[in-house]
Structures are given as structure tokens and as C-alpha cells.
Amino acid sequence: MLSTMQDVQLTVTRILKHGMTIHGRSQVTTWTGEAEPHRRSFAEIGARAGRLAHALRDELGVQQDDRVATLMWNNAEHVEAYFAIPSMGAVLHTLNLRLPPEQLVFIVNHAADKVVIANGTLLPLLVPLLPHLPTIEHVVVAGPGDRSGLEGLNVRVHDYEELLAGRSEAYPWPELDERQAAAMCYTSGTTGDPKGVVYSHRSIYLHSMQVNMAESMGLTDADTTLVVVPQFHVNAWGLPHATFMTGINMLMPDRFLQPGPIADMIVAEQPTHAAAVPTIWQGLLAELSANPRDISCMKQVTIGGSACPPSLMEAYDRLGVRLCHAWGMTETSPLGTMAHPPAGLGADEEWPYRITQGRFPAGVEARLIGPGGDVLPWDGESAGELEVRGTWIAGSYYGGASGEPHRPEDKFSADGWLKTGDVGVISTDGYLTLTDRAKDVIKSGGEWISSVELENALMAHPEVAEAAVVAVPDDKWGERPLATVVLAEGATVDYNSLRSFLGESIAKWQLPERWALVPAVPKTSVGKFDKKVIRKQYADGELEVTLVEG
């Protein structure tokens, strides 16, 4: 028996049309670093998306399924591309501007991008790559920047505003299959070549609905979200699409990502929500300590990308800002969990839930797999690798020119679940607590030591600004922890004191013997601690390591 319901395709186009009409007065505000930021309504964004689609099709020859890359900051023009490209049937490919040049070359060639839209300020990054990008036929430049380096290259160069000028706002948006490609992002490639994840219109639509649910970010058109998380980082965690679905105003920082400008824009524009990785909030906290400002307008901050130290959450609590843990990855669109405590609890009762990664929404199924391949119980104690599946979870990677999807055995189970590479436990009521990445767990004398637990404990010390812990070889135990520490300005604490401080909350056998001071913890292109760099520094003898035993 079939239902009597209409069969309507879930597409990005529907989100665009809804946002520009029903929520046409909502705004995208782009920070300019000047007295007045740039403001554009959703209605204007939608009209300009139509003009951009006309330009891409009529002037640049973009056809259905062609890949159009963006090398852009978070700004209004990038939002226009977010909607125009997939709605016309092409595929949006956001490029991570923080990747090494060789990885960017690999990604563009693997995706076979035809067009790249770039902010003028990023041309110094793009121009040296273009001779190595044979599939790129057109470069569209948005905003000011030195374009002289583009002369003589085998590409046609266009100005973004000139392309849009004089074109019709009404684009004949095609009827699309909700399962066809809408956008693609590549993993950061911390091991091996980056892998392409291709999102469907359907997955983006359903993910946007989940982002807007109360158990997730739960924002409305009365809210303004400060979108610090880059638009190249898993579609800015789905916020550009989710905002058009419910009329949430967006505050976009463009290239002004330093703690000072972020504090300024919060004070000036009064956002009620923000989203970014922990390193952003650590930097902002240091800025506010040096130059106090009231940022309590932000009632909620979604924090993800890596584990948030509980001490950071406590510090923002004191500022009247609540940090909410989220977990996800490129392959999960990215929303996998959010750490809202159950209803009806007091502040002390909420805390054990807030420091988890959170609960799984209805669209994500989860299981834990033990070392022997068995499925482990949700008892809050049994630790295994997290596997997930669901309506916005990747089932394969993009196969490149071959067109064949790629499903490596170390990333997908035989029955189709995504192997996340994260190790953790799940409570009886569905709260996930990650203890480490599988590759970062310290295997010492047959027991596991969580590098994340050690890092969080270290960063709770008032004289520690950052700390990263990695496994290093040990003749007796196989592996032992190495603690690399960035001290706060003016700190006088020594290694023995730090080890004693750790001993107040960490079992003695887990305490690091090897310690090193570093000026900064190396980070990946999306702000996570880059532990492979630390391991290499140790192996190459580049760290000044001190042995401390108690």
C-alpha cells in the first residue's frame, strides 16, 4: 500500500526560494574592518544568486554536474555561490584555503573543477597553482586584489560584479533529482591523499532541518549567528543552508578572524549564537582577558572540530556565554551529536552531560566496535571505535575521473557503516564521550591512555595556555605519553608542578614522563591539534625533552 502524500524533491533550490521570499528581510552582514559592515538581505542574496547562475551558464558555459570551486572567505558573495551553483544543477566545491599547495592542486585536479570563484585577497594563493590546474578554464574574482599575476595564464578572467551586472534575477531553476550531487568537500588529508565527500541535495535539506531543531542549534529569525567556522569546513557546519530555511541572520567575518576583530564584531552586531573550533574561543578568551568587553549577547556557542577543554567551558560560563559541544566530521555533513543535557537538571547535574560530545539525533545511528570486531553495549564503560550511518552520512568517497565510488575497508564496514576513527563510550541514554582518535590513543603496557583526557587536565592549569599529548616509543611499555605545553604569558610553573597537578585527577601510571615546552601547538587547516607534526618533531630530535619521574 502506498501513501497519498505528494512526492516533492528535497533540494537546495527549495531552501533558496523559501529563504529569499518568506525570510527575505533577514540579513547577511559581512564584516569589513571599517566603521560600517556590508549588509545584504536574503531577498537580495537570492536575486544575485539568479544573476550568478545566468553568468555561469551563459558566459562561462557551466553545465549540469560541472564542478565550480570557491576559494573564498565567509561573506555574502560566498553565500550567493552556495545557492546558485547547486540550484542550477552544478556542484559547489569549496576549497580549503589553509591546505598546503600540493594538496590544493590534488583536490582541484581530482574534482576536475571547471571554474574557480576567488576573493581578490586570495589571488596570491591561487595564482601559483593555476599552471598546475589544467581543468580550470575560468577564474572569477570577487572584490579588490592584485590581478596582475593572472595575465598570460591559460584561463579567462572575470570580475564577479561585472558578470552579474545587467543579468536577469529570474533564473529558470531546473527540476533536480534530490539524490544528485549538490556540493563537495575534501577531508583534510592528515593521512594519505584528501578524500572527496559529495553531498546530495537531499542530505543537505535533511541536515538543515536537523541543525534547526531545538535539540541541535534551535535558532530562529530572532537570532543572529556569527559564522566563524569557514564555509570550506564542511559547509560551515550547515549554517548557510539552515539559516535560509528559518530566517536566521548571518554575521560573516570575511578575512577578519583574529581575536580582536571577532570581539569587535560581537560587541557591534550583538550576535546571539556563534560557531567555531576551540582554538578560536581560546584566542578570544585571551583577548578578553587583556581587553575586557561584554560578549554576553551570545547565549549559545556551538563548538566542535576537536574536543573542548572543560576549563574553557567554565571560563565562558563566567562570561555569560554557554559553550555547547558538538561532534561531527566531513563525512557526517557534519552534525553527529550535540551536548544538550536532559531537561529538568540543575547546573551541577548538567555538567557531566555538557562535557560529553552529546546525543545522537534521530537521523544518525551509532554503534561501538571493540578490538575484536564485536558490537559493544551502551553502558558508559565499554570503549570502542564509533561507527555511524544515517541520512546525511557518507557511504563512499568520490572516485575522481573514474566515476566509481571509493569505499576503503579502513573507512567503511562491510555492511556500510562509516568508521569514524574516534574511540569512546556511549551512555545508556545515548550520550557519546570520545576518549581519543584511534590513531592517537597511547597503548602503554597493554592498557589505553587517553591523550585528550591528559590534554584537558593540563589545560585546566591556570598557567597553561595549550597542551597536546602524543604517544612516543618506549622500550619497556611500548608507548608512553609525551606532553607538549604552551605556557601562558608570565607563567613560572615547572614540569614537576604540572605533573603533580595532573596527579590530582589522573592515575599515576598514566602521567607523562616526557615533557617539552613549545611556542605553539601545531594545527591542521581546520584548527585541530596536528599530532603527526609533534610525533615527527620528536622522532627528528627537534624537541627539547625533559624527563620527569615521580
- Please list, in sequence order, all residues whose beta carbon lies within 8 angstroms of the beta carbon of residue 418, skipping any fewer than 6 positions away: 331, 332, 387, 388, 389, 393, 394, 395, 411, 412
- Phi, psi (degrees; rounded to nearest 5) at 368: -110, 135
Cβ atoms of 74 and 225 closer than 8 Å: no
Catalytic residue, chosen from 13, 70, 187, 246, is 187
CA distance 491 to 452: 23
443 flagged as catalytic: yes
Q: Is 532 designated active site?
A: no
Question: What sign does the dihedral 21-23-28-29 (CA atoms) show?
Answer: positive
Q: Among candidates 378, 386, 373, which has minimal Cα distance to 426?
A: 378
3-state secondary structure of 124: helix
DSSP E strand stretches across 143-209: 156-159, 181-186, 196-200
Is residue 304 within 8 Å of residue 325, measured between CB atoms? Answer: yes
- The DSSP element (H or E) to which 286 belongs, if any, is helix 278-290
Helix, strand or coil for residue 82?
Answer: helix
The answer to whether residue 536 is catalytic is: no
CA-nearest of 256, 305, 310 to 284 is 256
User: Contact at 8 Å (CB) between 112 and 90?
Assistant: no
Q: How far apart are CA 451 and CA 480, in angstroms?
A: 10
3-state secondary structure 419-441: EEEEEEEECCCCEEEEEEECCCC
**Amino acid in position 405:** P
The amino acid at residue 203 is S
User: How far does CA 90 lie from the centroid of its chain?
Assistant: 23
What DSSP designation does 366 have? E
- Catalytic-role residue among 349, 443, 509, 542: 443
Ramachandran class of 89: left when φ > 0, alpha when ψ lies in -120 to 50, beta otherwise: left
Specify the amino acid at residue 401: A
Q: Exactly one of 351, 378, 448, 477 is catalytic; which is it?
A: 448
Specify whether 542 is catalytic: no
Between CA 93 and CA 394 the distance in angstroms is 16
Which one of 331, 385, 455, 466 is the catalytic residue? 331
Please check whether residue 397 is in contact with residue 405, taking contact to mean a CB–CB distance below 8 angstroms: yes
Q: Cα separations (Å) of 424 from 150, 232, 349, 351?
A: 49, 27, 22, 18
- Confirm if 350 and 310 have CB atoms less than 8 A apart: no
Which residues form the catalytic set? 187, 331, 443, 448
